[in-house]
């Protein structure tokens, strides 16, 4: 290993080494503390600037304009709030949060696909995730050992006190965003051709995935678990693979058992089914109330802007009697609904267009399909662009996968 490292250093200039390390540093900190990831973004920017001339950055930017445009459109949707909203201060906060929608694709577009290593990107994502998991588990163990009766306290490991928001509290993050990254990692390792040789050793594969799947369950992210099932089912149907279909059944069984042990996750799944046996999701009533209030504003086509969207949510929560949502100032918990209220029918259409664009440009490449499925499904229950971490995750993987998996034919067309 030391010999390989020496050869790598000897055969690469320091600017390229710095760029690659800065890229891995940025990706590896996506699951960790936001302040650290923000610093990593600036280091990544520095790495891109240092290699700008050597990597023919100007030529690449012209050629890769197709990578920048989709996320720029999303940024413009937020910026339109300056004209659509009365609460300009809120709009300015939103614009500041989504600046990475421009910055990160711009940085990625300064390079060629050969300047990145997809397998290493996912390796360092996994390393960052595992580091975050260890930090969270450390605080759980510390909490258990600090009690008068550690053995009794340990029995709460599977309950709310050590799951969901409480699980990732040491990182200052949100469980759903950590879940998004876990699903990205699990899907890449399980199905991407870059990890095909690794998957030949089934024992290593299982041992690697167990802690990540366990932590996914601990996040109590129903949508995360369902997305893993959806991706696995997609591959089973696509390949007509009986083993994968059995894996889906096994995953459902494991989730069922986990829901019994992790009582908070179990209770969240139970809430999806009413006493009458009908599907009932608690957020749907809030969404209906938001839509009803928004319709009264007569802005269905262009929306109310991101600034006034919050006022509409609060009015809906007040009228609908959603006291907790009103007290905690909840967002819509639905990215489609967020764009609908903020930018009307046009906003939803453009967001769907941006999501479909990556599939079209990459010719349905596996990692791009994973990305598409993850964000299509997560958008149903999370307003992930409402947090800086979500913006960072979306901006990087969207632009990176577009660059890395678009064919030379597409690039020529874009140029």
Report the pLDDT value the prediction gives residue 159, as an integer from 0 to 100: 72
Q: Which residues span the domain enclosing 57?
A: 2-414
- Among residues 117, 127, 257, which one has the least CA distance to residue 181? 127
- Min mean pLDDT across 142-156, 283-297, 336-350 is at 142-156
Angstrom distances, CA of residue 304 to CA of 293, 295, 309, 333, 346: 12, 11, 6, 17, 12
Under the phi-then-psi rule, with left for phi > 0, alpha for psi from -120 to 50, and beta for the rest, what region is 334? beta
Residue 171 has pLDDT above 70, yes or no: yes
Dist CA 382 CA 384 (whole Å): 5
Map residue 104 onto helix, strand or coil.
helix
Q: What is the pLDDT of residues 243-260, one digit of tens each?
A: 666 665 565 555 555 554
CB-count burial class (<10 Å; 0-12, 13-18, 19+) for 246:
exposed
The percentage of the chain sitting over the pLDDT mark of 70, rounded to a whole number, equals 84
Residue 5 has pLDDT above 60, yes or no: no
H/E element, 217 = helix 202-218
Map residue 279 onto helix, strand or coil.
strand
Q: How far is CA 62 from the centre of its chain?
A: 28
Report the pLDDT value the prediction gives residue 275, as an integer from 0 to 100: 53
- Decide if 168 contacts 133 (C-beta within 8 A): no
Side-chain-facing half-sphere of 415: CA atoms under 13 Å: 12
Give the total number of structural domains in the chain: 1
263 or 415, which is more confident: 263
Q: What is the pLDDT of residues 281-323, one digit of tens each?
A: 668 889 999 999 999 888 899 999 999 999 999 999 999 888 8
Dist CA 394 CA 184 (whole Å): 11
381 or 407, which is more confident: 381
Q: What is the pLDDT of residues 366-387, one digit of tens each?
A: 999 999 999 999 999 999 999 9
- Among residues 43, 42, 61, which one has the least CA distance to residue 52? 61
């Amino acid at each position: 290993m030391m010999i390989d490292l020496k050869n790598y250093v000897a055969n690469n200039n320091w600017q390229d080494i710095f760029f690659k390390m800065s890229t891995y540093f940025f990706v590896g900190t996506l699951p960790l503390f936001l302040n650290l990831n923000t610093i990593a973004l600036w280091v990544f920017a520095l790495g891109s600037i240092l290699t700008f001339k050597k990597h023919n950055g100007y030529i690449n930017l012209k050629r890769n304009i197709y990578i920048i445009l989709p996320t720029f459109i999303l940024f413009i949707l937020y910026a339109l709030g300056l004209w659509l909203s009365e609460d300009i201060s809120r709009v300015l906060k939103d614009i500041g949060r989504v600046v990475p929608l421009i910055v990160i694709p711009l940085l990625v577009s300064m390079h060629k696909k050969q300047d990145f290593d997809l397998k290493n990107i996912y390796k360092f994502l996994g390393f960052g995730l595992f580091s975050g998991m260890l930090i969270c588990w450390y605080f759980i163990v510390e909490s258990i050992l600090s009690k008068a009766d550690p053995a009794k306290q340990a029995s709460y490991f599977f309950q709310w006190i050590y799951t969901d928001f409480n699980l990732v509290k040491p990182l200052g993050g949100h469980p759903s965003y950590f879940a998004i990254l876990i699903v990205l990692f699990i899907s890449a390792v399980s199905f991407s051709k870059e990890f095909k040789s690794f998957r030949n050793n089934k024992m290593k594969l299982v041992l690697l995935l167990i802690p990540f799947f366990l932590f996914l369950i601990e996040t109590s992210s129903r949508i995360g678990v369902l997305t893993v099932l959806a991706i696995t089912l997609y591959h089973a149907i696509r390949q007509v693979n009986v083993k994968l279909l059995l894996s889906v059944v096994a995953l459902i069984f494991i989730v069922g058992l986990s829901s019994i042990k992790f009582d908070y996750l179990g209770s969240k799944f139970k809430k999806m089914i009413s006493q009458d046996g009908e599907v009932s999701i608690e957020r749907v009533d809030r969404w209906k109330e938001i839509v009803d209030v928004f319709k009264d504003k007569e802005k269905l086509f262009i929306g109310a802007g991101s600034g006034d969207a919050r006022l509409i949510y609060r009015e809906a929560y007040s009228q609908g009697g959603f006291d907790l949502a009103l007290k905690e100032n909840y967002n819509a918990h639905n990215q489609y609904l967020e764009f609908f209220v903020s930018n009307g029918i046009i906003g939803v259409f453009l967001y769907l267009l941006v999501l479909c664009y990556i599939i079209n440009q990459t010719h349905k490449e596996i990692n791009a399909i994973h990305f598409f499925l993850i964000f299509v499904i997560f958008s149903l229950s999370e307003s992930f662009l409402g947090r800086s971490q979500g913006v960072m995750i979306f901006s990087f993987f969207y632009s990176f996968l577009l660059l890395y998996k678009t064919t030379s034919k597409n690039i020529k067309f874009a140029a």
